[in-house]
Structure 1
Amino acid sequence: MRKIATILAGLCLTAGAGFASAPAASAATPCPSGAVCIRETDGSILSRNIFYSYGAHNLSNVTGYRVLVNSQTGGAGFQVCFGYNGVNCSEVARETGEYAPYDMTPINSVVLVR
């Protein structure tokens, strides 16, 4: 019995190490539930680009094509805006999930709406 337990423990450690050290190259960081996120070009999401509260969120150093992810619940949406503090904004996007890459260079704020 002890031998079987030792073998199983070894297999678990080996399998766990294999999964931890070899993540998929295309794996993207998930956007937390209830948030709107801006995904970096490498698939990661910086903590400064995760937005939970309704209202305007000014952006800093977000340029180039980025994927926006809406993980809000209850039909909440977001807008991208050319001006700071939610000025000159797009239509409200309410669909959940990832949006096609968008050129964020001229965008200066994101507004979360109910």
Structure 2
Amino acid sequence: MALALGALGLTAAPSASAATPCPSGAVCIRETNGTILNKNIFYSYGSHNLSNVTGVRVLVNNQTGGAGFQICKGYNGTNCSVVYRNKGEYEPYDFTPINSVVLVR
């Protein structure tokens, strides 16, 4: 059963085995070819501004201890979604209007 995650349309999805894994303790944005660029691996709590992340991407929450994340239309963690805490890979989502990701405890 997929879990609907707010008005942004994110849902939890099964992981793709051929894709690059997201390291434990991180939130990652996966490229369209399944790879994860180092600049799109986030470990520290707080806001992370995105650079040249547009189009449809897959977000992966591999944080531990129930930590979550928000995706935000503004830079520096402004105009954000609700906090998502489900661990794993999310359905593909259009990141074109998204400018930052916030990691929360």
| TM-score, normalisation: structure 1 | 0.77
Q: 1:35 aligns with which of 23, 26, 30?
A: 26
Structure 2: distance between partners of 1:87 and 1:60? 16
Greater Rg, structure 1 or structure 2? 1
Q: CA RMSD in A?
A: 0.8
2:85 maps to 94
Q: Number of aligned pairs?
A: 89
Unmatched tracts of structure 1, length 5 or more? 1-25
Report the structure, 1 or 2, having the larger helix content: 1
User: Larger relative CO (CA 8 A, sep 6+): 1 or 2?
Assistant: 2
Measured after TM superposition, the shift of residue 27 of structure 1 is 1.1
* Runs of 4+, deviation exceeding 3 Å: none
Unmatched tracts of structure 2, length 5 or more? 1-16
Report the structure, 1 or 2, having the larger strand content: 2
| TM-score, normalisation: structure 2 | 0.84
SS in 1 for 2:19: coil
